[in-house]
Chains A and B, each alone.
Chain A
Amino acid sequence: MMSKPQTALLELRHIHKSFGAVQVLHDINVSLVAGEVLGILGENGAGKSTLLKIISGIYHASSGEVCVDGKVVSIKDASSAKALGIAMIPQEFNLIPSLNVFENIFLGNELKRHGWLDKRTMREKTQSLMALLETQLPSDAMIEDLSVAQKQMVEIAKALVNDARILIMDEPTTVLTAQEADVLFALVDKLKAKGVTVLFISHKLKEVKRLCDRLLIMRDGEVVALEKVSELDEHDMARLMVGRELSQVFPAKTVGGQELALNVSGLTVPNLLSDINLQVHCGEVLGIAGLMGSGRTETAEAIMGLRKRSQGQIEVFGEVVNIKSLQDAVEHKLAYLSEDRQGSGLIMNFDLSENITLISLNKYKKGLIQHQKTRERAEHYRKLFSIKTETVSTPLVNLSGGNQQKVYLSKWMDTEPKILILDEPTRGIDVNTKKEIYHFIRELTEQGIAVIVISSEMEEVIGLAHRVMVMREGKVQGELCGADINEQQIMYLAAGLREQQDSNNAQGKRA
């Protein structure tokens, strides 16, 4: 397939993997040389994570061989992977919040002198690692005080301190802002120059294109393409992943309604938000853009009664409402899908029907819960969203991210909302499911539901929203609509490079 200029650093030969009767990986063959960056693409459930878990020793292949430096190795567990120079940066970080940076980096490999911890050397080594990563991070900073991007840096440093030669990154940019992601890309380039091989999983086709040498595209546990990146464009990638043409990721926008559904004015949360004004009409999608920490999520949480506001008035369909708790918000037909699907959205050991009816449980009560009815309702959503699972009694842990997101959406749709706030609705989700969700949002607007979409993905905001509100440092920096909604305008506002010129107009409209 490819001429090999040198011995492969990592080679997978005929890897098969089954869980019971279900075959999840089928005859995977890849060979990587030192300093190569391999992008791995595939829909949720295509087998990417399983493959990486085999390489990093968490799972064991049912058959096939893994070779490092041309020798067949047996990777029994995480520590034998470490010994071979294989390190994985997990999606959920494995850092201990109450320890500081250098303690985490050397956790399990503490340097010692005369039997005591050699803190000085560990600090020095941490500093030189941070210099290499071009990060200003004090070695004594506590992990719990760090931002997500900084935590990721610590994870990478932890991998490097063990002399990792094969670095596996599982969707590293989902938690990063655009700028932070750029820093990460620069770092990957640098590691590549040092001869580190990187396996990079991502759903963002653009960054894969930018970063990787070759691409491994998987579908249903098989390799459907292993090509140089230069030979594929984004369109090809999407087509190969899904196995058919992806016509129009974003559906055409509806006209948008006239009736004012939600009118928020002067919303203020001490230290977080000041004087937020926003309106959404029935059948309209309002996009909220902004960098991490700009107050987008906090705005949603304040509207939903999850944060105490010091000032501000909320009108729902022209009526001033006093929302003090999430229960109040639900009563006024507001719904909010949090960005943290697993942390605050779904109960992982509950099954589909238990999760879907958790908020709307009172609908299914006649004294006792009518379990049959809840299951029927869950079945309805399973069909509506084509959620891939055997039955509605399957616990959520067994579902892929995209399917979990569909369950989360079902859970809030079952409260029959009129105003729906979606916070990062497609984070960590494959192209096909994204498209399904976008089309569903359009259907909702056709039904006259007012939708707010908070997103860090520029395309998503641009593709979906009738109007875009850009936030910065807890304030509304500006509002864009129509042809003004483009990447450049949003970035300018988000980065604070300019105030919106016609912000006076927007203010006038609101008043």
Chain B
Amino acid sequence: MSQVSKSTQINSSSGSNQRGFHLPQLSLSKYAPLIALIILIVLSAMASEHFLIPRNITNVLRQVSYTGIIALGMTFVIIAGGIDLSVGSMIALIGVLVVMLLNYLGDGWTAVTLAIGASVVLGVIFGAINGLITVKGRVAAFIATLATMSVYRSLTLYISDAGEVVSRNTFYPEVGGGYWLSIPIPVWLFLGLAIIGHLILRHSAYGRHVCAVGSNAKVASYSAININRVYFLTFVIAGITVGIAAVMLSSRLNSVSPGDAGLFYELDVIAAVVIGGTSLSGGKGTIWGTVIGAIILGIINNMLNLLGVSPYLQGTVKGLVILIAVLMQFQKNRT
């Protein structure tokens, strides 16, 4: 951990030295998500006295962690130049399958452990299907995952007969509903996975290759990088994060409702990544940006609730925030 923070410090300090005269402008855009988050927190604290109550904060973080975990995987997909629209359907499908597996395995921690392992494996499989269609079939990621989004959702409904699937395992709810040091387990996982994600993206050869493929696939292939493998694996990574999020979500409620679970998650996930400063055209992005992007979205949702704004209007606000984030990115690219 300490090693990580040290090396990021080195990065940022050398980054500001070289930029010389146009330092203020560039560092502003680099830290824009963080600045936006701070402003949002201050505004929220002023607007509602309930906002800074610890219970509210942990609630926001828990809400955020489900989409946030998936957003970590999505960051890889988007940096490599792809997109995954199927994550919302995939979380429902994995959730249903895992709960059914649990009920088949019976009660006890062993069953829970097996189910968690199974959900990660399922994430790998469904992610790999997305990856194979895009890489081997040479289908644009947008189209490929639009198709699997429909397929995964439909399978979810078919398997569950469109009825809620309830777990009979008594230990399972403790996974997603539990706390450690009075912070919810999913939040810990979100944090831990963010650190792993950051290490992979910034400090591993694979992460470097993901950025290279997203920046310029031809240069990457002329640099002895197996671009198909790199691209394929981003979908697998996204699948793994969906698998983990599926456990968190289904265990928290101890049930999955196949029609609603994960509905429109792809929107929130992509929004978190984009708000965090990752370029939708690929090549550039950070994990910490995505974490902040997810938290920003969570706080906005929370504030709209606290302020009593009609839930029907929340989509409008979210849409506007996404638009602003993307517009800011374009401004950045233009200068």
A binding-site residues for B, Cβ under 8 Å: 19-22, 306, 325-327, 329-330, 336, 338, 343-350, 354, 358-359, 361-362, 365, 368-369, 371-372, 390-391, 393-394, 411
Known A325-B224, A348-B216, A371-B203; 12 more pairs at CB < 8 Å? A19-B21, A329-B224, A330-B224, A336-B222, A343-B216, A354-B208, A358-B225, A368-B204, A371-B7, A391-B18, A393-B14, A393-B17
- Residue of B22, B226, B283 near A349 (CB, 8 A) is B283
Does B62 sit at the interface, judged by CB under 8 A?
no
B21 touches A20 (CB 8 A): yes
Interface SS of chain B: helix
A347 touches B10 (CB 8 A): no
A-B contact pairs, 30 of them (CB 8 A): A306-B221, A325-B224, A326-B222, A327-B224, A329-B224, A338-B222, A343-B216, A344-B218, A344-B219, A344-B221, A347-B215, A347-B220, A349-B215, A349-B284, A350-B212, A350-B215, A358-B208, A361-B208, A362-B205, A365-B204, A368-B199, A368-B203, A369-B203, A369-B208, A371-B10, A371-B11, A372-B10, A390-B18, A393-B17, A411-B223
Least CB distance, A16 to chain B, in whole angstroms: 17
The B51-81 residues at the A interface (CB cut-off 8 A) are none
Given that A20-B21, A350-B211, A350-B212 are contacting pairs, would A358 and B7 also be in contact in the complex, using a CB cutoff of 8 Å?
no
9 tightest A-B CB contacts, nearest first: A20-B21, A368-B203, A344-B222, A326-B224, A361-B205, A391-B18, A344-B218, A330-B224, A347-B215
Does B15 sit at the interface, judged by CB under 8 A?
yes
B binding-site residues for A, Cβ under 8 Å: 7, 10-11, 14-15, 17-18, 20-22, 199, 203-205, 208, 211-212, 215-216, 218-226, 283-284
Contacts of A358 in B (CB 8 A): 208, 212, 223, 225
In the bound complex, what is the Cα–Cα distance between A358 and B215 (angstroms)?
13
Max chain A Cβ within 10 angstroms of own Cβ: one of B205, B221, B223: B223
Contacts of B221 in A (CB 8 A): 306, 326, 344
Contacts of B222 in A (CB 8 A): 306, 326, 336, 338, 344-345
Residue of B nearest to A389 (CB): B18
In the bound complex, what is the Cα–Cα distance between A21 and B11 (angstroms)?
24
Least CB distance, A72 to chain B, in whole angstroms: 28
Least CB distance, A137 to chain B, in whole angstroms: 28
Residue of A nearest to B16 (CB): A393
Least CB distance, A430 to chain B, in whole angstroms: 23
Residue of A nearest to B226 (CB): A327
B15 touches A347 (CB 8 A): no
Residue of A nearest to B22 (CB): A20
B204 touches A394 (CB 8 A): no
Contacts of B7 in A (CB 8 A): 371
Interface SS of chain A: mixed
Least CB distance, B289 to chain A, in whole angstroms: 16
Contacts of B199 in A (CB 8 A): 368
Contacts of A20 in B (CB 8 A): 20-22
B205 touches A369 (CB 8 A): yes
Least CB distance, A390 to chain B, in whole angstroms: 5
In the bound complex, what is the Cα–Cα distance between A396 and B318 (angstroms)?
36
Residue of B nearest to A337 (CB): B222
In the bound complex, what is the Cα–Cα distance between A19 and B22 (angstroms)?
9
A343 touches B208 (CB 8 A): no
In the bound complex, what is the Cα–Cα distance between A369 and B7 (angstroms)?
11
In the bound complex, what is the Cα–Cα distance between A345 and B284 (angstroms)?
18
B20 touches A390 (CB 8 A): yes
- Residue of B11, B215, B225, B226 near A348 (CB, 8 A) is B215
In the bound complex, what is the Cα–Cα distance between A319 and B283 (angstroms)?
39
Least CB distance, B8 to chain A, in whole angstroms: 10
B219 touches A346 (CB 8 A): yes
Least CB distance, A447 to chain B, in whole angstroms: 22
Least CB distance, A264 to chain B, in whole angstroms: 20
A365 touches B212 (CB 8 A): no
Least CB distance, A92 to chain B, in whole angstroms: 14
In the bound complex, what is the Cα–Cα distance between A369 and B203 (angstroms)?
5
Least CB distance, B215 to chain A, in whole angstroms: 5
Contacts of B17 in A (CB 8 A): 391, 393
Contacts of A369 in B (CB 8 A): 203-205, 208
Contacts of A411 in B (CB 8 A): 223
Contacts of B22 in A (CB 8 A): 20
Contacts of B225 in A (CB 8 A): 358
Contacts of A330 in B (CB 8 A): 224
B212 touches A347 (CB 8 A): yes
Contacts of A349 in B (CB 8 A): 215, 283-284
In the bound complex, what is the Cα–Cα distance between A390 and B14 (angstroms)?
11
In the bound complex, what is the Cα–Cα distance between A336 and B221 (angstroms)?
12
In the bound complex, what is the Cα–Cα distance between A365 and B15 (angstroms)?
22
In the bound complex, what is the Cα–Cα distance between A19 and B15 (angstroms)?
19
Contacts of B284 in A (CB 8 A): 349
B219 touches A391 (CB 8 A): no
Contacts of A21 in B (CB 8 A): 20-21
Least CB distance, A380 to chain B, in whole angstroms: 17
B212 touches A359 (CB 8 A): no
A345 touches B18 (CB 8 A): no
